[in-house]
Amino acid sequence: MNLLIQRKAKQLKVGVLASGRGSNLQALIGAVKTGTPAVKLVGVASDKAEAEALRRAEKAGLPARAFPPAFFGSRREQERALEFWFEELEADLLVLAGYMRILSEDFIRGVGCPIINIHPALLPAFPGLHPQRRALEAGVRYSGCTVHFVDAGMDTGPIILQQTVPVYEADTEESLSERILREEHLLLPEAVRLIAAGKVRQEGRRVRIERDA
């Protein structure tokens, strides 16, 4: 059993990894500013120096740093640099908000805190790349998004929260992606809030949520 409990004496310090435009990061920043006082965002890292997520972090006054793999001699060196940075920031939780690299088992063990990810599909269906396109190709009636703990597999970790969205006959990959993204912007901050409140309990592959009274 792995019980995540946020001590009342401090805020949950959250680090973020993002590769792209950072819209889920922006949703987290907004949630923390407007109503999640138990959470403190401590830094944003990216594997891409040009990532818009870094600009969003800087605008919000957060430490932001790029760790491009080409600057390191190996994948392990890049991940160790990330580990050291988040250790310096004393992160209690890492959030993957559109981070497009698979983390190694060494990193997951070495970083010393839980890691969660947001994925635009109802896992375990459609893990990996282009899940919206594959959902349309499969003819599903509902899709959605999932927040899950990260393990060594590709989108295989224990599921924390999910939200469904309808799939319409006229949907394109772009229109379905936009509808799912709107729900991602609500689901990810809610998962972080629940973890900060000590309401998330992992029991093997099952995650139990203590709902608000």
Rg (CA), the chain: 17
The tokens of 35 are what? 């109503």
Which of the residues 119, 130, 148, 185 is marked catalytic? 119
| 185 catalytically annotated | no
Number of H helices, E strands in the chain: 6, 10
User: Scanning the structure block, which residue is given the tokens 């790029």?
Assistant: 66
Question: What is the C-alpha to C-alpha distance for residues 212 and 120, in angstroms, rounded to an integer?
Answer: 26
**Whole-Å CA distances, 50 to 38, 47, 104, 117, 198:** 31, 9, 23, 21, 35
163 within 8 A of 175, measured Cβ to Cβ: no
Listed residue (143, 135, 139) closest to 181, CA to CA: 143
User: Scanning the structure block, which residue is given the tokens 């799939």?
Assistant: 167
Listed residue (93, 83, 95, 91) closest to 28, CA to CA: 95
Catalytic positions: 119
